[in-house]
Every structure is written in structure tokens, then in C-alpha cells.
A = this chain, B = another copy of it.
């Protein structure tokens, strides 16, 4: 599952810790999602979309494995 998280975060000038706080998750979780270690849960995906004011579909790309 690819995503544009790092680019979106950079556009907003936020550190991983900043974003983590806004999403109410740990900094390690943001890092893991950005580096592709695992996918967010659906509720977290919704919070991510909300924070960036866009849709889940425009941030995450399921590619083959979904």
C-alpha cells in the first residue's frame, strides 16, 4: 500500500511528531506508515484524510494487494 503521507506532511511543514500528535498516535506509528512497514487501520486512515482535508483514496494507493 503506497501513500503520499511524507509529501503531504512536508507541504504542511510538520514533523512526524507534529503529525502524530494531530492524529493521536505515536511518532513511531507515523514513521511506520510513511516507511511502508504497515498500513493504518481504517479509523486512522479517516483521521489522516481529515487532517489533510482530502479523501482516503487520494492519499492511499492500494495497488495490487487490495
- Do B43 and A45 have beta carbons less than 8 Å apart? no
Q: Report which residue of A39, A45, A47 has the largest number of chain B beta carbons within 10 angstroms of its beta carbon.
A: A45
A residues 33-65 in Cβ contact with B at 8 Å: 39-47, 49-50, 55-57, 60, 62, 65
Residues of A in contact with B, size category: 10 to 19
Which of B39, B57, B66 lies in contact with A47, CB distance below 8 A? B66
Contact residue among B1, B46, B57, B62 (Cβ-Cβ distance under 8 Å from A62): B46
Which residues of chain B have C-beta atoms less than 8 A from A47's C-beta?
62, 66
A1 touches B57 (CB 8 A): no
Q: In whole Å, how far is A42's beta carbon from the nearest beta carbon of chain B? A: 5
